[in-house]
Amino acid sequence: MSHLAGLGLEATRISDEALSELCELRGLTYLNLSFTSVTGQGLDSLLKLPNLTHLILLGTKVSAAKIQELKRKKPALRIYPALKK
């Protein structure tokens, strides 16, 4: 599964703790976590995914500050919903 490019986990019971397990999916470029219980705390582990370019966070409790922090740490990462300026 290390060649998996996209993963849709929207509306599942994935937790912050489980996100660290995704770091083995080194080829992952797209991840949808919409309508899950993940928080900003769990997203830090996703920074270890070298090819991740799209992260969908609709309907989560991730703060705007955390989204900005992730964008600073990984500028090529497009996070949806995009923050309004």
Q: Is residue 49 part of a domain?
A: yes
Q: What pLDDT is recorded for position 85? A: 42
User: Domain for residue 50, yes or no?
Assistant: yes
Instruction: Say if 1 falls within a structural domain.
Output: no
Exposure string for 49-71, b = 16+ CB within 10 A, e = fewer: beebeebbbeebebeeebbeebb
- Is 62 domain-assigned? yes
Q: What is the pLDDT of residues 67-79, one digit of tens each?
A: 999 999 999 999 9
Q: Considering its fold, how many domains does the chain have in total? A: 1
In a domain, 65, yes or no: yes
Q: Tokens for 46?
A: 């996703």
CATH number, residue 51? 3.80.10.10
In a domain? residue 32: yes
16 exposure class (CB count in 10 Å sphere: 0-12, 13-18, 19+): middle
Q: Which domain holds residue 19?
A: 6-80
* Structural domain includes residue 19: yes
The Cα angle at residue 13 between residues 47 and 44, in degrees rounded to 5: 15
Q: What is the pTM of this model?
A: 0.89
Listing from the earlier edge strand, what are the strands of the sheet with 6-8?
6-8, 30-32, 54-56, 78-80
Residue 75 lies in a domain: yes
Q: How confident is the model at residue 3 (pLDDT cuts 50, 70, 90)?
A: confident
pLDDT digits (tens, 9 = 90+) for 10-57: 999 999 999 999 988 999 999 999 999 999 999 999 999 999 999 999
- Angstrom distance (rounded) from CA 5 to CA 41: 23
